[in-house]
């Protein structure tokens, strides 16, 4: 039975809460649909952008080349240290390669998977809330809040060719199965299978299994041990399968060295979370108030674990806002609970005044206007107008690289892909390996000095790039500046050609 929604009615029976009138329910649902419309508006630009083929993020092209390797039967993990390292599990690349038979575009396939995965994730958030509260309004609110949160705060990741959204569908599905029934051995096995499937797409989404394991430990140590053993067996089978299909260095590639700074993780957290301080603060208060409620314990654990894990991972060099997605899901679930509690007059909610309780949903959505304005797509029609010009400039730059003879290095791998150039140097992971003394940049410097690349594309002129650079070692940048000349200088794209 769904809890009563707030109303201005007077109770007909003294001592009992008033039942909501039909008109009050209509007003509440109209308000929710208005908030849903806002969430859909935030998604317009990311959805439309996905159907263009200019680069959204560095990994757009990286994932395209990895799917192409599957089709060309090139091992993903054929070398322990290589200039084209793959440090993700193989499943998403196989899915992309297969589905591209129908879309005829690796990039479009990956972006459509990402868009569909976000929609499914929001649906799963709503189903988790509905299962735990029995309330449709709370589920509706939480699901659309999740959509608005991602589109406003993580705009550059929505519709991007990256497997994390795809992986999260399996992890959230596992969470839904876990909260749906008593954890029997069969149920625990299903949860473990779903988590392992997700881990075969993106391997570091640890907050989901950790939260379930902790909750199981508090429920039954025997069940927790069953979950751990099943997960370990499935993990071992996954490692063997990835190694057989992708190459002998699967594990070492996934564990490629990465510089780490705990202070950097804290700074990154503050930089990404200050625009959503209100939902974060409300989530923290809700967790503190509900920590002792066994029916809500898992969500409290999930929020705390995701916050700790995500902030810890954020200290890795090159980590972006996607590291916080697990916590974004936790916040979205909690927002559904917040509406559920606020709209029950008898609940022990932080705010007792009925008028302010009713205003909780719009206040939470209004708080997302700040990150939305920072995304650059606040006036979405202006963003839509800019996209054709972005595509024209991207095509022109790719055509220029294509016209240069021989191999090419591209910081934007997608430009090299559309220039019909093979991937010979993957800047981000190669630079990590060089700094860890696993690869020698002298090899690349020599090829630059002997003009073995017909074009080298950077995101700006050599002199304007920060040092140390995340994508290129200093000696490589120095060699480019000394032996190559700047031929194309566009916003976010500088192309160098041999200066001989």
Give domain limits for the chain: 22-374, 382-498
Q: Are 398 and 55 in contact (CB under 8 A)?
A: no
The three-class DSSP label of residue 240 is helix
Locate tokens 């206040």: which residue?
363
Q: Tell me the C-alpha distance between 50 and 61, whole Å.
A: 13
Rg (the chain; Cα; Å): 25
Comparing 460 with 364, the larger pLDDT belongs to 460
Q: Are 18 and 356 in contact (CB under 8 A)?
A: no
pLDDT at 5 over 50: no
Q: Tell me the C-alpha distance between 318 and 500, whole Å.
A: 34
Q: Are 47 and 111 in contact (CB under 8 A)?
A: no
106 Cβ contact partners less than 8 Å away, ≥ 6 residues apart: 63, 64, 67, 68, 96, 97, 100, 161
Rounded mean pLDDT, 109-134: 96
Q: How far is CA 225 from CA 196, 212, 216, in A?
A: 16, 12, 9
Rounded mean pLDDT, 382-406: 94
Tell me what pLDDT residue 34 has.
83
pLDDT at 52 over 50: yes
Q: Tell me the C-alpha distance between 120 and 172, whole Å.
A: 9
Q: What is the pLDDT of residues 67-103, one digit of tens each?
A: 999 999 999 999 999 999 999 999 999 999 999 999 9
Q: What is the pLDDT of residues 323-380, one digit of tens each?
A: 999 999 999 999 999 888 887 765 565 555 555 566 777 788 788 888 777 777 777 8
pTM of the complete model: 0.91
Tell me what pLDDT residue 239 has.
95
Of the candidates 211, 140, 221, the residue with the CA atom closest to the CA atom of residue 172: 211
Q: Are 157 and 150 in contact (CB under 8 A)?
A: yes
- Backbone CA torsion sign across 309, 314, 316, 321: positive
């Amino acid at each position: 039975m769904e809890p009563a929604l707030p109303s201005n009615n007077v109770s007909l029976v003294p001592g009992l809460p008033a039942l909501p009138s039909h008109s009050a329910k209509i007003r509440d649902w109209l308000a929710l649909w208005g908030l849903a419309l806002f969430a859909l508006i935030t998604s317009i630009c990311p959805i439309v952008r996905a159907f263009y083929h200019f680069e959204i993020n560095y990994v757009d092209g990286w994932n395209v080349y990895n799917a192409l390797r599957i089709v060309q039967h090139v091992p993903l993990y054929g070398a322990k240290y290589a200039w084209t390292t793959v440090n993700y599990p193989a499943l998403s690349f196989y899915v992309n390669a297969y589905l591209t038979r129908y879309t005829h575009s690796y990039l479009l396939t990956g972006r459509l998977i990402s868009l569909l995965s976000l929609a499914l994730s929001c649906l799963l958030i709503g189903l988790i809330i509905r299962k735990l509260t029995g309330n449709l309004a709370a589920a509706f609110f939480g699901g659309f809040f999740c959509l608005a949160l991602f589109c406003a705060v993580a705009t550059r990741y929505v519709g991007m060719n990256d497997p994390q959204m795809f992986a999260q569908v399996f992890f959230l599905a596992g969470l839904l199965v876990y909260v749906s029934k008593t954890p029997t051995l069969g149920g625990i096995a299903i949860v473990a299978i779903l988590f392992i499937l997700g881990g075969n797409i993106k391997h570091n989404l640890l907050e989901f299994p950790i939260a379930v394991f902790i909750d199981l430990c508090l429920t039954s140590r025997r069940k927790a041990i069953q979950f751990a053993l099943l997960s370990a067996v499935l993990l071992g089978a996954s490692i063997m399968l990835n190694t057989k299909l992708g190459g002998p260095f699967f594990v070492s590639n996934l564990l490629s060295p990465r510089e780490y700074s705990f202070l950097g993780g804290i700074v990154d957290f503050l930089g990404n979370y200050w625009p959503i301080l209100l939902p974060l603060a409300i989530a923290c208060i809700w967790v503190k108030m509900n920590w002792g409620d066994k029916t809500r314990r898992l969500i409290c654990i999930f929020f705390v674990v995701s916050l700790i894990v995500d902030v810890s991972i954020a200290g890795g060099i090159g980590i972006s806002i996607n590291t916080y997605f697990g916590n974004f899901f936790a916040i979205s679930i909690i927002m559904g609970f917040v509406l559920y509690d606020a709209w029950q007059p008898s609940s022990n909610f932080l705010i007792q005044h009925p008028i302010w309780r009713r205003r909780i949903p719009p206040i939470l959505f209004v708080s997302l206007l700040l990150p939305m304005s920072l995304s650059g797509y606040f006036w979405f029609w202006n963003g839509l107008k800019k996209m054709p010009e972005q595509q024209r400039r991207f095509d022109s730059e790719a055509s220029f690289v294509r016209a240069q003879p021989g191999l090419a290095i591209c910081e934007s791998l997608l430009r090299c892909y559309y220039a019909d150039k093979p991937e010979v140097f993957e800047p981000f992971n190669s630079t990590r390996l060089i700094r860890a003394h696993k690869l020698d940049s002298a090899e690349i410097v020599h090829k630059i000095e002997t003009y073995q690349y017909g074009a080298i594309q950077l995101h700006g002129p050599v002199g304007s790039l920060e040092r140390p650079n995340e994508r290129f070692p200093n000696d490589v940048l120095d060699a480019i500046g000394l032996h190559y000349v700047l031929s194309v200088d566009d916003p976010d794209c500088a192309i160098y050609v041999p200066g001989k």
